[in-house]
Amino acid sequence: MSGLLDKLSPARRANKSDDLPLFYTDQAVGFHRGHRNTPKVSVTLAELLMSMEDDQNGQSQAWDIALASNFFSSVSSYPLPSPSPFVLSFKDLTYSVKITKKFNPLPCCGSSDGDGMEMKTKMLLNGISGEAKEGEMMAVLGASGSGKSTLIDALANRIAKESLHGSITLNGEVLESSLHKVISAYVMQDDLLFPMLTVEETLMFSAEFRLPRSLPKKKKQARVQALIDQLGLRNAATTVIGDEGHRGVSGGERRRVSIGIDIIHDPIILFLDEPTSGLDSTSAYMVVKVLQRVAKSGSIVIMSIHQPSYRILGLLDKLLFLSRGNTVYSGSPTDLPRFFSEYGHIIPENENKTEFALDLIRELEDSPEGTKTLVDFHKQWRAKQTLNQTTRNTNVSLKDAIDASISREKLVSACRAGETNLKSTFQTFANPFWTEILVIAKRSMLNSRRQPELFGIRLGAVLVTGTILATMFYKLDNSPRGIQERLGFFAFAMSTTFYTCAEAIPVFLQERYIFMRETAYNAYRRSSYVLAHTIISLPALVILSATFAATTFFSVGLAGGSEGFFFFFLTILAAFWAGSSFVTFLSGVVSHVMIGFTVVVAILAYFLLLSGFFISRDRIPLYWLWFHYLSLVKYPYEGVLQNEFEDPTKCFVRGIQMFDSSPLGQVPDAVKISLLKSMSGVLGFNVTAETCVTTGVDILKKQGITEMSKWNCLWITVAWGFLFRVLFYFTLLIGSKNKRR
């Protein structure tokens, strides 16, 4: 270790702008091995990692990483008073919601016909106050429905300002929403991770999102490696996260990964909603131990927890007990026995203090008076404690505290020290627009590449459908029957492309909450997400379009040669593009997979019905004509029909074929020729067996396809795709606020 510390040159320490910031520990660190006079050192993990660049030997680098991480986790740390501490204060937080309850004004009748609606106000938070300081862990406790998660949401700026009353300040200054997103992080109760990425890849992508582009990739990788060791995930670093269908890491490891992706940028404030939920006692203890390290590095950690064990209780600095939105205790865990002793309920010596408190609170809640006496006693007790305490006012402004934090290499996400204005100290996003697109696209492609069966099934469906159509409509002839068969083929082919796109519904629905978590704290722009997924979807659409076009065009015997095939391919591609964009937009509107499939199938059926195949445009009622122009199937269908029938010299119905679609079609050809001669005398011009009666242009006129060219149909189809992508963006912009009302 001494050799490693000796590598830190004064010049390297002086140049902070390039250093790797990682969980700076502003503390004196000592090695206690029985020698009382052992010298203490104060060093950041960032400086330890910086020293690795001086060593060109790969094995030595790996050893240094492990040594640095062990150094961080094994030392006994006693934080010194910080010259610029952060203090998060909240006062009189009040939040209520209106709930609708059914009631029967005539209960004696027992009939539901008299049911009415009654509006009631439910108080979720009622004047909650408290304070959390840098280097401390505060735990919010209480039974289910007590308001734990609501308080965490309130402090994490996840409740609309107009609904939340009270004040939340950091160093005495009100936190603006934009600044709040940059300096804090929120870990949800559910582990929202990509299942097919490994632990190391998950943390690395988070680093690329949250750390600025100015930080070299080597330093980002070193940061991730040190974080893996700090989280105790070294043995699982190359294991995929996993899900129901893929075996992956354990529940405790998943939770630590969830914490890791949100502390990669070393935030000042970390909020967690029940981080130990669903974990065994050992895993829960390891998670809280990690959070203690994060707090000791100079962060404020506030979490809700259901029922901490004795070991976890020893790691906590402050407790805040809630009961139905009211504070029943706030203070140090060591003061808990004295508090309940003065209240008249002595905690037995061998009993878990928090379990005793929660059981007592639950008993009081079930009593007629509720917890009112305990709430009132706590107010008196806190007032007395406040009088006995001597408060020290640091008079440190929020800007000075943030500048000091940045100077000691904390809070590295898009920070700029030395700015005169607090708002200009931070960028809204850590990386430029195009970098975000590249990272999102890389992550999505990696996740998809490890699930090749998803694209394989879609490609197989397109190939099977194309093969069936190719064999069913094999080598269509130029006859009246061939015309009808062509119309049927094109209608089915165009509708199939749209129905095949329905599989895109679960894609965003599975990522919805990951997207909401990442964008809630400005990991990337919503526009970057939309564009990245648009770009990576195109290669798959090209492959599907080429497969379907090659399978059907020549086998069916469609017209146009190579030029006709190229336009047919482009139309299929445009249809896939529009269908994929439409389904993607719907996935942003609906929130359930089955609802999404139902809506997509129904709307696509309406599109096909009013596309012009079953009933021509001239025959559609005026009150449904507007939907005809909104039909996505209409434009590619009309485009391929024009591509097939645009040649005015190509004949599809000759004189003797006029009778094929009538009862006279069964009579001998000699009789048909005789009928043609009779008709010639009546019409005044000669109609023979080979006279062309119907050309491709006549077919288009009969179908009502006279308004636009085939290329216009193609461009309109492409434009529909872009329109739905834009609508998808606005859907994300409006629907992903992730705030309570």
Rounded Cα–Cα distance for residues 741 and 347 (Å)? 40
- Identify which has the larger pLDDT, 686 or 594: 594
**Could you read off the pLDDT of 269-317 as tens digits, one per residue?**
999 998 888 888 888 898 899 899 889 888 899 999 988 888 999 999 9
Q: What is the pLDDT of residue 426?
A: 64
What whole-number percentage of the chain has pLDDT above 90?
38
Structure confidence at residue 391 as a pLDDT band (50, 70, 90)? low
- Identify which has the larger pLDDT, 103 or 722: 722
What whole-number percentage of the chain has pLDDT above 70?
82
Averaged pLDDT, 150-163: 89
H-only helix segments in 127-166: 148-155
Rounded Cα–Cα distance for residues 24 and 410 (Å)? 6
Q: What 8-state DSSP symbol labels residue 527? A: H
Structure confidence at residue 580 as a pLDDT band (50, 70, 90)? very high
Averaged pLDDT, 604-609: 91
Q: What is the pLDDT of residue 734?
A: 86
Q: What 8-state DSSP symbol labels residue 515? A: H
**Could you read off the pLDDT of 411-448 as tens digits, one per residue?**
555 555 445 455 555 677 888 899 999 999 999 999 88
Structure confidence at residue 191 as a pLDDT band (50, 70, 90)? confident
Max Cα–Cα distance, the chain, nearest Å = 126
66 pLDDT above the threshold of 80: no
Q: Which residues of 19-36 are buried (b: 16+ CB within 10 A; e: fewer)?
A: bbbbbbbbbeebeeeeee
What long-range pairs does 359-362 form, CB within 8 A, spacing at least 24? 361/142, 361/143, 361/321, 361/323, 361/328, 362/143
**Could you read off the pLDDT of 498-507 as tens digits, one per residue?**
988 888 888 8
Averaged pLDDT, 531-550: 94
Q: What is the pLDDT of residue 8?
A: 36
Whole-angstrom Cα Rg for the chain: 35
Contact criterion met (CB below 8 Å) for 274 and 187 = no
**Could you read off the pLDDT of 618-641 as tens digits, one per residue?**
888 999 999 999 999 999 999 999
Q: What is the pLDDT of residue 349?
A: 84
- Identify which has the larger pLDDT, 451 or 6: 451
Q: 157: Cβ–Cβ under 8 A, 6 or more apart, which residues? A: 175, 177, 180, 181, 184, 739
22 pLDDT above the threshold of 70: no
Averaged pLDDT, 700-716: 90
Rounded Cα–Cα distance for residues 222 and 230 (Å)? 12
Averaged pLDDT, 316-342: 92
- DSSP structure string for 235-281: GGTTSB--BTTB----HHHHHHHHHHHHHTT--SEEEEE-TTTT--H
Neighbours of 338 (CB within 10 A): 14
Structure confidence at residue 741 as a pLDDT band (50, 70, 90)? low
β-sheet bridge partners, residue 266: none
Contact criterion met (CB below 8 Å) for 695 and 554 = no
Query: How much is the mean pLDDT over the chain?
Result: 81
Separation in Å, CA 673 to CA 658, 659, 662, 693:
11, 11, 15, 14
Angle among Cα 625, 627, 633 to the nearest 5 degrees reads 115
Contact criterion met (CB below 8 Å) for 294 and 301 = yes
Q: What is the pLDDT of residue 162?
A: 84
Contact criterion met (CB below 8 Å) for 505 and 587 = yes
Structure confidence at residue 46 as a pLDDT band (50, 70, 90)? very low
- Identify which has the larger pLDDT, 25 or 111: 111
18 pLDDT above the threshold of 60: no
H-only helix segments in 501-651: 505-520, 526-556, 561-589, 593-609, 622-630, 634-645
**Could you read off the pLDDT of 453-490 as tens digits, one per residue?**
888 989 999 999 999 999 999 999 888 888 889 999 99
Averaged pLDDT, 49-73: 41
